[in-house]
């Protein structure tokens, strides 16, 4: 793996952030494909985090004032910079994640698309809204909703897609007019650091976008200082984030884990379903919140599906590649996650499951887990209940679609799902799945459908990204009620007199009642 370029990207956050307080310590960033140190970052202190937030807060009003087009101008420059520096930034990301190159491309492609999406849609989503008065009593008023950003948004992001998550959550906030401070994962801080440096030094954009570094402690300090928290990570951490934000009554949006089911109906195109399951379960080594983790297959096609899926997964090339995509499945980015995957697979095997391929850590240098297909699994096993977040799928045979649905919904999670089968029947099943997004005859594709919301039901999250909601959440609605014409006083103001009060009541009754007697005050 050609990881050399990442070493040049390291920097101290003192220099990058311009924060005055001293850094507390540093964190070595390792290449999971070979264990080599690829960089070292200085961690922020609570004081330096407060200083960074205060600095960008000071520049936010001007950023808001340049308007949607003005902000898109700078975000467009960021898109162009990313497109012009794809290889350079891809090298850094590959070094800190151990991803294969094809999975690096998924990350970068998403960001450019998202900038264009919100650049073109923001005016429709968060531009002023005129509202018709609902009552004739308000006829003299002009009603307008203005959407104004939270001044500073704090983004806390995970390690699985270092830019798609960190920038993906920052772009709509910046487009809305907020200043943004990101706390990337301590496992993968380098590629974001490179982008932030470029925003400031190469692009020369306004100083409203920065990052702070560190572990969960730094995340906590960021929560204390910002006006809105966008968190992406595990449900375990999500609970802590929400509790911390409650102390300052700071609103949060939480994009958490999943345990996504796939249902394969007897009338599915089995080849397509097996190919989708192999990719959907193993892409990015299964380290994708919406990867396929559980598969329920109707009896008549079970054997054929399992044979085809196993054959494909067996053939996947695992390991490290360079700039040319030569491998299919990369490393596990976090050693903590490898331990979770291993524990779940061991638990399943000890309880009677069989691994048709894979089933253990891979030999050799680096942190790899073999692409694994498990059968004879059931819902008593951790691998079918808890998020695996690794290259492992469990497959169960079901009698019919009702059993498949019951099992698919038998989970505390509800992020995404997929159904394969004759499209109308599959859509009917999809509509009954308890999840934020369901793909019919496809997997994961909802992530690229930016016009529709993506978020978790149940313990997979609170709030959504993408679509209208994905930018509106970063704004506060401000209702402007303008009196277009009126006399010296309104009839309901002082002084209260019998005649004025009586008039107000009679008019109010006349408009609220829906029958003549009540309108005229002849009943009640
Ligand atoms: P994690 O919860 O361990 O960490 C996420 C981030 O939170 C990191 O930056 C971490 O430093 C920070 N953090 C940790 N403790 C904190 C605390 N007490 N206060 C504030 N911040 C804290 O998650 P991870 O292991 O980095 O990522 C994997 C998880 O992310 C999986 O569960 C995956 O499903 C989820 N994820 C969800 C989505 C989605 O869109 N729903 C997308 C990607 C990943």
For residues 371 and 393, what is the distance between their CA atoms, to the nearest angstrom? 9
- Does residue 255 have an active-site annotation? yes
Residue bearing the CA closest to ligand 1, atom 42: 289
Confidence grade of residue 23 (pLDDT, cut at 50, 70, 90):
very low
Q: What is the C-alpha to C-alpha distance for residues 479 and 502, in angstroms, rounded to an integer?
A: 30
In the predicted structure, residue 186 carries a pLDDT above the cut 90: yes
Q: Which of 186, 211, 289, 475 is catalytic?
A: 289
Nearest residue to 256 via CA among 379, 389, 371:
389
**Ligand 1, atom 26, residue with closest C-alpha:** 158
pTM of the model: 0.94
Question: What does residue 153 show for φ and ψ, rounded to 5 degrees?
Answer: -100, 130
What is the chain's length? 524
pLDDT digits (tens, 9 = 90+) for 374-412: 999 999 999 999 999 999 999 999 999 999 999 999 999
pLDDT at 496 over 90: yes
Known catalytic residue: 475?
A: no
* 51 ligand 1 Cβ < 6 A: no
Distances (CA, A) of 298 to 263, 269, 302, 385, 405: 8, 13, 6, 20, 11
219 lines ligand 1 (CB under 6 A): yes
Q: What is the number of alpha carbons within 13 Å of residue 143 lying toward its C-beta?
A: 11
Measure 220 CA to ligand 1 centroid, in angstroms: 13
Is the shortest distance between the CB of 255 and ligand 1 below 6 Å?
Answer: yes
- Per-residue pLDDT for 19 more than 90? no
Task: Please work out whether the CB of residue 169 comes within 6 Å of at least one atom of ligand 1.
Answer: no
Cα(464)–Cα(452) distance, integer angstroms:
10
Alpha carbons 17 and 10: distance in angstroms, whole number: 13
**Side-chain-facing half-sphere of 361: CA atoms under 13 Å:** 13
Question: Is residue 185 in contact with ligand 1, taking CB distance under 6 Å?
Answer: yes
Kind plus residue range of the DSSP H or E element containing 149 = strand 141-149
**Rounded-to-integer distance, Cα 464 and Cα 387, Å:** 20
**Quick check: CB of 457 below 6 Å from ligand 1?**
no
Of the listed ranges 92-101, 273-282, 408-417, 511-520, the least confidently predicted one is: 511-520
Q: Whose CA is nearest to atom 20 of ligand 1?
A: 219
Q: Is there an atom of ligand 1 within 6 Å of 237 CB? A: yes
**Sign of the CA dihedral running 364, 368, 370, 374:** positive
| Contact 151 CB / ligand 1 (< 6 Å) | no
Q: What's the gap in Å between 253 CA and the centre of ligand 1?
A: 13
pLDDT band per the 50, 70, 90 thresholds, residue 60:
very high
165 lines ligand 1 (CB under 6 A): yes
pLDDT in tens, 419-461: 999 999 999 999 999 999 999 999 999 999 999 999 999 999 9
Please tell me the residue having the least CA distance from ligand 1 atom 17.
216
Ligand 1 centroid to residue 172 C-alpha, Å:
20
Distance 189 CA to ligand 1 centre (A): 13
C-alpha 368 – ligand 1 centre gap (Å): 20
Q: What is the pLDDT of residue 64?
A: 98
256: pLDDT strictly greater than 90: yes
Closest atom of ligand 1 to CA, residue 455? 41
Ligand 1 midpoint to CA 288 (Å): 12
Euclidean distance between CA atoms 358 and 489, whole angstroms? 80
């Amino acid at each position: 793996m050609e990881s050399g370029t990442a070493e040049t990207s390291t920097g101290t956050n003192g220099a990058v952030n311009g924060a005055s307080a001293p850094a507390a310590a540093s964190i070595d960033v390792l290449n999971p494909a070979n264990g080599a140190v690829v960089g070292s970052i200085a961690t922020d202190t609570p004081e330096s985090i407060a200083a960074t937030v205060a600095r960008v807060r000071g520049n936010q009003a001007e950023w808001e004032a340049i308007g949607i087009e003005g902000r898109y101008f700078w975000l467009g420059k960021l898109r162009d910079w990313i497109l012009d520096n794809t290889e350079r930034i891809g090298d850094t990301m590959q070094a800190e994640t151990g991803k294969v190159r094809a999975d690096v491309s998924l990350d970068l492609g998403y960001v450019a698309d998202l900038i264009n999406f919100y650049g073109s849609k923001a005016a429709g989503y968060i531009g002023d809204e005129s509202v018709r008065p609902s009552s004739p009593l308000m006829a003299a008023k002009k009603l307008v909703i203005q959407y104004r950003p939270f001044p500073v948004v704090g983004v806390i992001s995970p390690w699985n897609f270092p830019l798609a998550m960190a920038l993906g959550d920052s772009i709509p906030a910046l487009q809305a007019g907020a200043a943004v401070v990101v706390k990337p994962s301590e496992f993968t801080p380098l590629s974001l650091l490179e982008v932030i440096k470029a925003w400031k030094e190469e692009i020369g954009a306004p100083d409203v976008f920065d990052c702070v570094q560190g572990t969960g402690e730094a995340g906590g300090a960021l929560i204390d200082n910002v006006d809105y928290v966008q968190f992406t990570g595990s449900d375990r951490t999500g609970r802590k984030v929400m509790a911390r934000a409650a102390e300052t009554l700071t609103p949060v949006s939480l994009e958490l884990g999943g345990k996504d089911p796939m249902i394969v109906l007897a009338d599915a195109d089995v080849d397509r379903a097996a190919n989708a399951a192999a990719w959907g379960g193993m892409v990015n080594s299964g380290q994708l919140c919406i990867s396929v983790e559980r598969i329920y297959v109707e009896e008549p096609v079970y054997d054929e599906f399992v044979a085809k899926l196993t054959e494909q997964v067996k053939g996947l090339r695992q390991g490290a590649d360079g700039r040319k995509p030569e491998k299919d499945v990369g490393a596990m980015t976090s050693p903590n996650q490898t331990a979770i995957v291993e524990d779940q697979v061991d638990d399943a095997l000890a309880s009677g499951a069989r691994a048709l391929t894979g089933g253990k850590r891979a030999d050799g240098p680096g942190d790899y887990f073999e692409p694994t297909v498990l059968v004879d699994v059931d819902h008593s096993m951790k691998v079918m209940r808890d998020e695996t977040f690794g290259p492992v799928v469990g497959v169960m045979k079901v009698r019919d679609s009702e059993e498949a649905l019951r099992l698919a919904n038998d989970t505390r999670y509800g992020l995404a799902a997929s159904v394969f089968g004759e499209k109308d029947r599959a859509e009917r099943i999809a509509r009954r799945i308890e999840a934020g997004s369901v793909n019919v005859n496809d997997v994961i594709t909802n992530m690229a459908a930016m016009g529709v919301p993506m978020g978790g039901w149940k313990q997979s999250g609170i709030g959504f990204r993408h679509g209208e909601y994905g930018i509106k959440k970063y704004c506060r609605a401000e209702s402007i009620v303008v009196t277009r014409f009126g006399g010296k006083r309104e009839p309901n103001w002082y002084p209260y007199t019998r005649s004025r009060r009586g008039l107000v009541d009679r008019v109010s009754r006349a408009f609220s009642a829906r029958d003549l007697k009540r309108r005229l005050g002849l009943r009640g």
